[in-house]
């Protein structure tokens, strides 16, 4: 199969028929073999009924219902012809939807796009060509001209992407763009969790897929419904970025961080205690009146630093024990072997 198109969605019933018709037209015009995987993230409207109706009217194959779920919790899977549908029993978030979509994808090229008709399926052929002919592992869309609110979306997005470029080293203008293309090996070797869908290029880079490109894509005005994302995504985005940076840098060797910081804090606190004690001894030796060591604030700060240093060191030691007993401690991604 040439292409798998994954469409995560939440309350987008009105957009789905037009989106699938558009995708189908583009696929037939270019002669691609394909599948469209709709992942219904616990919608409260009739999105799942619309997906099942599209599945039932697809002439290629009969519909089949199976049990499925993002993290072991039961959900529903519908399949018919070019369409596959996955329905969560509740809202898990976009990362969970993409995780299940990636797991189900069978195409050589995997395309992700939003269901709100703001991503154009006409971009798919060129994105596919960049993967298959230009040799990219991942191509991210860049909505250079946007129709969002400049103050609440565009400006925070630019600040967010500037920070992401600085931390990750990946020079993408729109890392969180929903329209992306992947080589199949990429989606099968990364794990999207929590709200890490914003940083899939960084996850791919950390997994060893370093040929990451960018393509200017069309951004369309929303035709139906409203945006499902609030301003809290920017706060959560920065926290998730720090988490990924830390896991990439110290995930396998936490003692290198906690042990180093803890040792430095303990050493500085220990030296400070010696200095405070020496100053007291000097004052007594020369008959100079000085405050009691126990009432000296610097003494208490020094003791606190020593205690915190010990705690950080022990945290690193315990983290090393956890990793040592983890079943994934020797999981390495192998490019090829013979």
Q: Which residue has the higher pLDDT, 324 or 186?
A: 186
Q: What pLDDT score was predicted for residue 278?
A: 87
* Residue 287: per-residue pLDDT: 80
Task: Give the side-chain half-sphere CA count within 13 A for 42.
Answer: 13
Each domain of the chain, given as residue ranges in start order, spans: 3-250, 255-324
More confident residue, 160 or 30: 30
pLDDT at 289: 78
Q: Distance between CA 133 and CA 58 in Å, rounded?
A: 31
Nearest 5°: phi and psi at 172? -110, 140
pLDDT tops 80 at residue 85: yes
Task: Give me the sheet containing 109-112, strands edge to edge.
Answer: 64-68, 75-80, 83-87, 34-40, 3-9, 109-112, 180-183, 138-142, 212-216
Indicate the CATH number for domain 3-250.
Answer: 3.90.550.10
- Rounded Cα distance between 109 and 130, Å, is 10
- 62 pLDDT band, cuts 50/70/90, is very low
The answer, yes or no, to whether residue 63 has pLDDT greater than 50, is no
Q: What is the reported pLDDT for 244?
A: 84
| pTM tops 0.85, yes or no | no
Enclosing H/E stretch for 67: strand 64-68
* Residue partners of 30: CB distance under 8 A and separation at least 6: 124, 125
**64 pLDDT more than 60:** no
- Tell me the pLDDT band of 156, cut-offs 50, 70 and 90: confident
Q: How far is CA 133 from CA 129, 137, 195, 209, in A?
A: 5, 11, 31, 16
- DSSP helix, strand, coil percent of the chain (3-state; round to 5): 50, 15, 35
Residue scoring higher pLDDT (136 or 73): 136
Q: Which of 103-117, 273-287, 307-321 has the lowest mean pLDDT?
A: 273-287
Kindly report, residue by residue over 215-264, the tens digit of the pLDDT: 999 887 767 766 655 556 667 777 888 888 888 888 778 898 999 999 99
Q: How many CB atoms lie within 10 A of CB 163?
A: 13
Reduced to 3 states, what is the DSSP secondary structure of residue 231?
Answer: coil
Give percent above pLDDT 70 in the chain: 83
What is the mean predicted confidence (pLDDT) over 4-33?
94
pLDDT of residue 65: 39
In this prediction, residue 285 carries a pLDDT of 81
How many angstroms separate the CA atoms of 250 and 83, rounded?
Answer: 41
Q: What is the pLDDT of residue 209?
A: 94
How much is the pLDDT for 152?
A: 57
Whether 290 has a pLDDT exceeding 80, the answer reads no
Question: Between these two residues, 95 and 155, which has the higher pLDDT value?
Answer: 95
Write down how long the chain is.
338
Q: Name the average pLDDT for the chain.
A: 84
125-141 tens-digit pLDDT: 999 999 999 999 999 99
Question: Over the stretch 302-325, which tens digit does the pLDDT of each residue have?
Answer: 999 999 999 999 999 898 888 777
Look at residue 293 in the predicted model and tell me its pLDDT: 76
Residue 125: HSE in the Cβ half-sphere, 13 Å Cα cutoff = 11
3-class DSSP assignment, residue 164: helix
Q: What is the mean pLDDT of residues 144-160?
A: 70
């Amino acid at each position: 199969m040439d292409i798998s198109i994954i469409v995560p969605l939440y309350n987008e019933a009105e957009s789905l028929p037009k989106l699938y018709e558009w995708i189908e037209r583009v696929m037939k015009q270019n002669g691609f073999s394909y599948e469209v995987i709709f992942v219904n993230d616990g919608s409260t409207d009739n999105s799942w009924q619309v997906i099942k109706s599209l599945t039932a009217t697809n002439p290629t194959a009969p519909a089949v219902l199976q049990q499925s779920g993002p993290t072991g919790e039961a959900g529903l899977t519908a399949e018919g012809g070019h369409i596959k549908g996955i329905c969560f029993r509740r809202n898990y978030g976009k990362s969970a939807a993409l995780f299940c979509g990636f797991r189900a994808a069978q195409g050589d090229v995997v395309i992700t796009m939003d269901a709100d008709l703001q991503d154009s399926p006409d971009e798919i052929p060129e994105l596919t060509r960049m993967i298959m002919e230009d040799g990219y592992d991942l191509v991210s869309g860049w909505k250079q001209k946007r129709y969002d609110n400049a103050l609440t979306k565009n400006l925070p997005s630019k600040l967010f992407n500037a920070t992401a470029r600085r931390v990750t080293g990946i020079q993408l203008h729109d890392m969180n763009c929903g329209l992306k293309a992947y080589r199949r090996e990429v989606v099968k070797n990364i794990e999207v969790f929590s709200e890490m869908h914003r940083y899939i290029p960084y996850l791919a880079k950390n997994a060893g897929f370093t040929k990451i490109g960018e393509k200017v894509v069309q951004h369309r005005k929303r035709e139906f419904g409203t945006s499902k994302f609030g301003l809290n995504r920017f706060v959560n985005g920065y926290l998730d970025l720090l988490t990924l940076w830390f896991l990439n840098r110290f995930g396998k060797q936490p003692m290198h961080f906690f042990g180093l910081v803890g040792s430095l804090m303990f050493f500085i606190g220990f030296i400070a205690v010696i200095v405070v004690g020496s100053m007291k001894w000097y004052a007594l030796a020369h008959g100079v009146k000085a405050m009691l060591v126990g009432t000296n604030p610097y003494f208490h700060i020094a003791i606190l630093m020593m205690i915190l240093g010990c705690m950080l060191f022990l945290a690193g030691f315990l983290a090393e024990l956890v990793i040592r007993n983890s079943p994934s401690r020797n999981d390495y991604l192998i490019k090829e072997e013979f």
